[in-house]
C-alpha cells in the first residue's frame, strides 16, 4: 500500500477573500455578543428617526444646513440646524452608509473608551470639522458628516481595537487577530467614492483626526518609529499624486505668450501671466477627467486619490503597482481630449508617477505595527 503525502494547509491571509469574509462574520458575531454601546445606539436611532421625519415632511439640505453666521453667533433657537445638519441624509442609501460606518466605529471603540469619553471625542471632532469646513470656505452651508467620519476613522486606525477569534464559531474562526479598522477603511472608500461631495472634506477629516491623535504624549515617538525610508518615499509620491491631480495644469493651450517669460526671466509681470489666466491652460488631471471623460475613468482617478492615502498606512504598499496601469489609462484618455494641445508640468509629473509607482522599493523592514497605538499592559 502506497501512502499519500498530506499537503500542509497554508495559513489564512487576512487580506485574502476567505480571510476578509470570515473576519467580517467574526466581527458581526462579536458586535452581537457585546454590550450595546449607549451613545452609538442613540446616535443611530436619532439618525433613523430624522430620516423617517424627512420622509413624512420632505426637506432639503437648505432647511438644516449650517452657515458661517450661525457658527460665529451661536443661537440656541437654531438647535434644529445644529442637530439637523449632522443627521441629514438625502436618501435611504446615504443614511444606511452613515448608520453602518458610525456603528462600526462605536461598537469597536465605545466600550473600550467609555461612553462619556467617546461622546466627548465625537462631539469635539464634529464641532472642529464643522468650524474648519465652514470658516475655511469649503462649503457655504454645511450639511452631512463626511469630514467627521474620516476623522473618526483616522482616530480608530491609530487606536486599533482588536478582536481575537478564540470564542468564535469554528466555521468563521481565523488564524489572526481581527482589526476592524481595515473593514472600516473599505467602507470609507466606497462612501468617499459614491457619497462624498468633494475630496476637500476628506482632507479636513484627516487633519482633525491627526490633531486629536497628536494630543497624546507618546504619539510623536510612535509615528517616528513606524516611518521607514520606503514608507516615507511612498508617502511623498502619494502627496505628489494629490498635488498633481488637483493643482498642476495638464496642458498648455497657447505658446504665443510663453516667450515673454523666457525672454524676461526677471520680470514679475511676465511670470504673473502664468497665474492670472493670460496664458490659457487645461485643468489638472482630476478635473480634466471630470469634464472631458466622465464616468469610469473619473472614478478611477478618484479611487487612486482615496486608496493612496490608505495604502500609506498599510504593510501592503506594493498594491500601488496597479497605479501604473491606471495612470496609463488616464493619460490615454486625457491625451485624446480636445483640451490637449501642448504638454504642461502636469503631463510630465503624471508620466513620472506612472513610472515610479512601478519602480518604487516596497520591501520595508518588518515593524511591530503600522501607525498603531501601543497597547498598555
In this structure, the answer to whether residues 259 and 209 fall within a common structural domain is no
Mapped onto helix, strand or coil, the DSSP state of residue 191 is helix
- Report d(CA 318, CA 363) in Å as an integer: 8
Give me the domain span that covers residue 107. 17-215
For the segment 260-279, the average pLDDT, to the nearest whole number, is 52
For the segment 40-61, the average pLDDT, to the nearest whole number, is 82
In this structure, the answer to whether residues 134 and 241 fall within a common structural domain is no
Give the pLDDT confidence score for residue 232 in this predicted structure.
Answer: 81
- 149 contact partners, CB below 8 Å, separation of at least 6: 98, 101, 102, 105, 188, 191, 205
Say if 11 falls within a structural domain.
Answer: no
In Å, how far from its chain's centre is CA 117? 24
In this structure, the answer to whether residues 147 and 53 fall within a common structural domain is yes
DSSP 32-92: HHSPPPHHHHHHHHHHHHHHHHHHHS---GGGT-B-HHHHHS--GGGHHHHHHHHH--SSH
Indicate whether 238 pLDDT > 80: yes
Give the pLDDT confidence score for residue 259 in this predicted structure.
Answer: 53
Output the pTM of the full model. Answer: 0.76
- Report d(CA 97, CA 188) in Å as an integer: 9
Give the pLDDT confidence score for residue 119 in this predicted structure.
Answer: 92
Higher pLDDT, 274 or 199: 199
In this structure, the answer to whether residues 280 and 189 fall within a common structural domain is no
**Do 221 and 247 contact (CB within 8 A), yes or no?**
no
Say if 326 falls within a structural domain.
Answer: yes
Higher pLDDT, 281 or 129: 129
For the segment 39-53, the average pLDDT, to the nearest whole number, is 87
Higher pLDDT, 284 or 200: 284
Q: Which three cell numbers stand for residue 359?
A: 519602480
Nearest CA to 193 among 307, 335, 273? 307
Task: Work out the pLDDT band at 9, boundaries 50, 70, 90.
Answer: low
114: left (phi over 0), alpha (psi -120 to 50) or beta: left
In this structure, the answer to whether residues 66 and 156 fall within a common structural domain is yes
Higher pLDDT, 163 or 138: 163
Indicate whether 370 pLDDT > 70: no
Report the CATH number that the domain containing residue 210 is assigned in CATH: 1.20.1540.10
Indicate whether 22 pLDDT > 70: yes
In this structure, the answer to whether residues 67 and 135 fall within a common structural domain is yes
For the segment 186-212, the average pLDDT, to the nearest whole number, is 78
Indicate whether 374 pLDDT > 50: no
In this structure, the answer to whether residues 33 and 67 fall within a common structural domain is yes
Within the chain, strands assigned E span 251-252, 342-343
- Report d(CA 323, CA 331) in Å as an integer: 12
DSSP 318-366: GGGGHHHHHHHHHHHHHHTSTT-SEE-HHHHHHHHHHHHHHHS---PPP
How much is the mean pLDDT over the chain?
77
Task: Work out the pLDDT band at 118, boundaries 50, 70, 90.
Answer: very high
Give the pLDDT confidence score for residue 145 in this predicted structure.
Answer: 82
Lowest mean pLDDT among 268-272, 284-288, 319-323, 338-342: 268-272
Indicate whether 254 pLDDT > 80: no
Mapped onto helix, strand or coil, the DSSP state of residue 207 is helix
Largest Cα separation within the chain, whole Å, is 92
Mapped onto helix, strand or coil, the DSSP state of residue 217 is coil
Give the pLDDT confidence score for residue 369 in this predicted structure.
Answer: 42
- Report d(CA 205, CA 219) in Å as an integer: 18
Give the pLDDT confidence score for residue 198 in this predicted structure.
Answer: 63
Say if 161 falls within a structural domain.
Answer: yes
In this structure, the answer to whether residues 287 and 153 fall within a common structural domain is no
Task: Work out the pLDDT band at 105, boundaries 50, 70, 90.
Answer: very high
In this structure, the answer to whether residues 278 and 239 fall within a common structural domain is yes
Domains contained in the chain, number: 2
Give the pLDDT confidence score for residue 84 in this predicted structure.
Answer: 72
Amino acid at each position: 500500500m502506497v501512502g499519500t503525502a498530506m499537503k500542509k494547509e497554508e495559513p489564512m491571509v487576512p487580506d485574502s477573500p476567505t480571510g476578509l469574509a470570515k473576519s467580517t462574520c467574526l466581527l458581526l458575531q462579536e458586535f452581537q455578543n457585546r454590550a450595546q454601546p449607549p451613545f452609538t445606539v442613540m446616535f443611530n436611532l436619532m439618525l433613523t428617526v430624522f430620516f423617517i421625519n424627512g420622509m413624512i415632511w420632505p426637506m432639503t439640505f437648505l432647511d438644516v444646513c449650517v452657515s458661517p453666521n450661525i457658527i460665529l453667533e451661536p443661537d440656541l433657537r437654531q438647535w434644529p440646524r445644529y442637530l439637523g445638519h449632522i443627521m441629514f441624509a438625502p436618501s435611504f442609501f446615504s443614511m444606511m452608509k452613515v448608520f453602518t460606518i458610525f456603528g462600526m466605529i462605536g461598537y469597536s471603540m465605545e466600550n473600550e473608551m467609555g461612553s462619556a469619553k467617546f461622546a466627548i471625542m465625537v462631539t469635539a471632532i464634529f464641532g472642529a470639522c464643522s468650524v474648519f469646513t465652514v470658516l475655511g470656505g469649503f462649503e457655504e452651508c454645511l450639511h452631512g458628516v463626511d469630514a467627521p467620519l474620516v476623522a473618526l476613522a483616522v482616530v480608530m486606525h491609530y487606536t486599533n481595537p482588536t478582536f481575537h477569534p478564540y470564542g468564535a464559531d469554528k466555521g468563521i474562526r481565523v488564524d489572526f487577530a481581527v482589526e476592524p479598522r481595515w473593514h472600516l477603511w473599505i467602507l470609507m472608500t466606497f462612501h468617499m467614492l459614491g457619497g462624498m461631495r468633494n475630496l476637500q472634506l476628506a482632507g479636513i477629516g484627516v487633519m482633525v483626526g491627526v490633531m486629536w491623535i497628536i494630543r497624546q504624549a507618546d504619539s510623536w515617538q510612535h509615528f517616528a518609529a513606524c516611518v521607514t525610508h520606503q514608507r516615507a518615499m511612498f508617502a511623498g509620491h502619494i502627496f505628489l499624486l494629490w498635488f498633481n491631480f488637483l493643482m498642476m495644469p495638464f496642458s498648455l493651450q497657447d505658446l504665443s505668450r510663453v516667450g515673454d517669460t523666457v525672454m524676461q526671466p526677471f520680470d514679475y509681470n511676465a511670470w504673473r501671466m502664468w497665474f492670472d489666466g493670460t496664458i490659457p491652460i487645461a485643468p489638472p488631471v482630476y478635473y480634466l477627467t471630470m469634464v472631458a471623460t466622465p464616468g469610469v475613468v473619473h472614478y478611477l482617478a478618484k479611487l487612486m486619490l482615496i486608496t493612496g492615502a490608505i495604502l500609506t498606512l498599510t504593510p501592503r504598499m506594493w498594491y500601488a503597482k496597479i497605479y501604473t496601469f491606471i495612470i496609463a489609462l488616464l493619460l490615454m484618455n486625457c491625451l485624446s481630449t480636445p483640451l490637449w494641445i501642448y504638454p504642461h508640468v502636469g503631463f510630465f509629473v503624471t508620466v513620472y508617477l506612472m513610472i515610479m509607482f512601478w519602480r518604487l522599493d516596497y520591501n520595508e523592514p518588518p515593524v511591530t505595527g503600522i501607525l498603531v497605538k501601543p497597547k498598555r499592559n
